[in-house]
Amino acid sequence: MTRTLYVTDMDGTLLNNGSFVSNRSSAIISDLSHAGALITVATARTPATVVPLMEGTFTTLPYVVLTGAAMYDHAASAYHDVSYMPSDDFGVLLSLYADAGIHPFVYHLDDGGGLVVYHHPDMTDAERDFYLERSNLRLKRFTFEKMPHDSDSNVILLFSTARRRDIMPLADAIRATGLFSVSCYPDIFKPDIAILEVYSAGVSKANAITRLMKSSGASRLVAFGDNLNDLPMLDIADVAVAVANAHPRVKESADIVIGPNFDDSVARFMLHDYYSH
């Protein structure tokens, strides 16, 4: 029997317009997982928001978090398979941000395996909104103190949210170094704002999912997405699925376009596909 791995993006894909997993989707995915289906999420989010969002949904596999820079074992509450940014490259990156006048959120794992996010005390409105929405999360701690010098070896991600016209040139400059994995895409909730994520070279949802395929014993991949940062994941899938509300380029790249994220479309497709294979 073919073992299929189902991997879905979260925002705009599995999550509905209220940004949560509906009761119906949760029930379908939980029932499938209890029946033996291999299901997980692959997201730019950290466990700090993934764990609460998936709390009522039973799955057996680790979550692919931070765009593939890490896996998170929710049963053990632990990160593993983490891709850290080389400290020499980190210095180059900070210089480019300084030249652009943008202060990134710097994601760092401390010695106890906790996620600490550093940021300059000054924040733009977009940065402050991002911070305030996440300031009380249990699995993520923000600090506005200067990052200790010896912490630069445990950096996973530099995250920025800013006006598109400001952040796009910075993304191009970082890509030009050839040292990093760069993802820059529009905020689905604020079209004039763009999100920039910078990881160590080789980090992607696709690479992390390839490793998960091997460890889970799956031989077939069905992937679901809606935004440009999902394209590498969809490119390696045996069945690439876009939701109806996806970016036009994502729908063009997909094998199948299903209903919108607010209609339990991902879970319903999984249900049909699992029992027809």
Residue 148, pLDDT > 80, answer no
CATH code for the domain of 241 = 3.40.50.1000
Say yes or no: 104 and 153 in one domain. yes
For position 188, what pLDDT does the model report? 73
Compute the distance between CA of residue 163 and CA of residue 110 in angstroms, rounded to an integer.
Answer: 31
Say yes or no: 76 and 91 in one domain. no
Compute the distance between CA of residue 100 and CA of residue 110 in angstroms, rounded to an integer.
Answer: 28
Per-chain mean pLDDT for the chain: 94
Residue 153, pLDDT > 90, answer no
Say yes or no: 264 and 128 in one domain. no
For position 189, what pLDDT does the model report? 80
Q: What is the CA radius of gyration of the chain?
A: 18
CATH code for the domain of 165 = 3.30.1240.10
Say yes or no: 75 and 43 in one domain. yes
For position 240, what pLDDT does the model report? 98
Element (H, E) at 118: strand 115-118
Q: Give the 3-state secondary structure of residue 69.
A: coil
Say yes or no: 174 and 189 in one domain. yes
Q: Give the 3-state secondary structure of residue 218.
A: coil
Give the count of domains, the chain.
2
Name the residue range of residue 190's domain.
Answer: 87-200
Residue 88, pLDDT > 90, answer no
